């Protein structure tokens, strides 16, 4: 409870300083002020603008997240289990990984147009690499002794995957997924700013084009809200998929 009081205090102080400084030390035109932003936020919230744009961005980010996450996990599992495949593809993966994915955006617009489809695929490609890498690391980190013990029990590759490898890699897969949340949003919002007529990115872009700083900040608040919600969702999913982790976390440290 105390921690929440301290957090609230930080928010109040920050907003208070901003409110006081705005118009006195810095021009309202550049930095707006919390009261104006709150009013703007409220107005786009009640007229439904914010929610309709947020729904579009959420749809893009989620779809891209699911498609990219699934593809990344499958790829990571396949390469993690096959040394030949991993060694063959390694240089190509490093190459593509080092490439800033934002640089691909013009190509994606060329290939898929400026619609929903392009923005989803753009998000997916960003998420794919992050989830792929963490899944791959996770699979390579599975205890070889554990695998051997199960092979002695007669486990085939499918048994191993289901009983040993996947659950063992879960920790890593989820680390990748959690890391991907902000990137999924970056993907969706960059795509909207570049080539959108809807979504939170468009809302930011549109407000900025009209020099409506309060509008920009209100849209950004919407982005933050969405990021928090997605993060929370991934955490809930993680808890639900890995119930044993709770038991491990509750364990008292003994050496």
Partner 1 sequence: MTALIAFRDVGKSFETSGQHIDVVRNVNLVVQRGEIVTLVGPSGCGKSTLLNMTAGLFAPSAGWVEYSGVAVSGLNRRVGYMTQSDHLLPWRNVADNIAAPMQIAGASKPEIARRTEELIELVGLAGFARAYPSQLSGGMKKRTALARLLAADPETLLMDEPFGALDAQLRLHLQVELRALCRKFAKTVLFVTHDLDEAVALGDRVAVFSARPGTIVQSLTVPLPAHRDLMRLRYDPDFTRTCAALWEMMSPALSAKGAV
Which spans of this chain sit near partner 1 (rule: CB under 8 A)? Answer: 143, 145-146, 148-155, 159, 163-164, 167-168, 170, 242, 244, 247-248, 251
Nearer to partner 1, 90 or 157 (CB): 157
Contacts of 242 (CB under 8 A, 6+ apart): 167, 170, 171, 174
Shortest reach from residue 168's CB to partner 1, in Å: 8
Given a contact cutoff of 8 angstroms between Cβ atoms, the answer to whether 171 and 141 are in contact is no
Q: Which is nearer to partner 1, 112 or 150 (CB)?
A: 150
The minimum distance between CB 133 and partner 1, in angstroms, equals: 22
Residue 5 or 247 having the CB closest to partner 1? 247
| Conformation bin of residue 33: beta by default, left when phi > 0, alpha when psi is -120 to 50 | beta
Of 221, 214, 223, 200, residue with least CA distance to 37: 214
Task: Report whether 192 contacts 198 (CB < 8 A).
Answer: yes
Q: Which is nearer to partner 1, 100 or 243 (CB)?
A: 243
Least distance between partner 1 and beta carbon 236 (Å) = 18
**Minimum CB distance to partner 1, residue 165 (Å):** 11
Q: Which of 63, 66, 53 is nearest to 222 (CA)?
A: 53
Angle, CA 122 vertex, CA 177 and CA 74 arms, to 5°: 45
């Amino acid at each position: 409870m105390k921690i929440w009081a301290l957090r609230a205090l930080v928010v109040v102080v920050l907003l208070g300083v901003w409110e006081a400084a705005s118009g006195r030390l810095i021009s309202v035109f550049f930095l707006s002020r919390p009261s104006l932003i709150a009013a703007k936020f409220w107005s786009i919230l009640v007229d439904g603008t914010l929610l309709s744009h947020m729904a579009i961005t959420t749809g893009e980010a989620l779809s891209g997240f699911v498609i990219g996450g699934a593809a990344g996990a499958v790829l990571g599992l396949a390469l993690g289990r096959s040394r030949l495949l991993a060694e063959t593809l390694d240089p190509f993966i490093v190459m593509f990984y080092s490439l800033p994915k934002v640089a691909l955006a013009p190509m994606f617009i060329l290939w898929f147009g400026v619609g929903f489809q392009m923005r989803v695929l753009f998000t997916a490609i960003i998420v794919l690499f992050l989830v792929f890498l963490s899944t791959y690391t996770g699979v390579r980190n599975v205890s070889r002794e554990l695998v051997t013990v199960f092979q002695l029990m007669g486990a085939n590759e499918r048994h191993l995957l289901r009983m040993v490898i996947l659950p063992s890699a879960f920790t890593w897969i989820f680390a990748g997924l959690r890391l991907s949340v902000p990137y999924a949003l970056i993907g969706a919002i960059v795509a909207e700013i570049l080539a959108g007529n809807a979504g939170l990115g468009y809302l930011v872009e549109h407000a900025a084009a009209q020099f409506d700083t309060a509008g920009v900040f209100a849209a950004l608040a919407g982005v933050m809200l969405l990021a928090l919600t997605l993060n929370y969702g991934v955490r809930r999913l993680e808890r639900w998929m890995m119930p044993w982790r709770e038991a491990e976390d509750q364990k008292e440290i003994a050496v």
